[in-house]
Amino acid sequence: MKLRRDLVESWDDERAIGNAIIVALRPGRKFSHDMNGADHVAGFDTVKEANAGVLRSVPCACGVCTAALEAARRDKKRERK
Ligand SMILES: [Zn+2]
């Protein structure tokens, strides 16, 4: 799913060791507030739930995201030179 690639920074399926699917969103996105206050990283029991959570994510302009996006922009500018 292209949308998922665009929104997700990391996707770690740790169900085999008794954990959840740990999903971290890319800078500039957070999980929506209806998910127990979870923000940039959340755990899900199933792939279906994880996909739904990612699709419900919303833009985020917190200090961490803003700094990460600015750093990424700076790196891109440097690459162009
Ligand atoms: Zn943020």
Tokens standing for residue 52? 């739904």
- Residue 25 CA, ligand 1 centroid: distance in Å: 9
Q: Distance (Å, rounded) from C-alpha 45 to C-alpha 16?
A: 11
- What are the DSSP calls for 7-31, one per residue? HEEEEEE-GGGT--EEEEEPTTEE-
Provide the residue range defining the domain that includes 34: 2-80
Q: Whole-model pTM?
A: 0.81
Q: Is the distance from CB of 42 to CB of 12 less than 8 angstroms? A: no
- Residue 23 CA, ligand 1 centroid: distance in Å: 14
In 3D, which of 15, 77, 21, 19 has the Cα closest to residue 49? 21
Per-residue tens of pLDDT for the chain, all 81 residues:
566 778 999 999 999 999 999 999 999 999 986 655 558 999 999 999 999 999 999 999 989 999 999 999 999 988 876
How many structural domains is the chain composed of? 1
- The amino acid at residue 37 is G
**Residues, Cβ < 5 Å to ion ligand 1:** 60, 62, 65
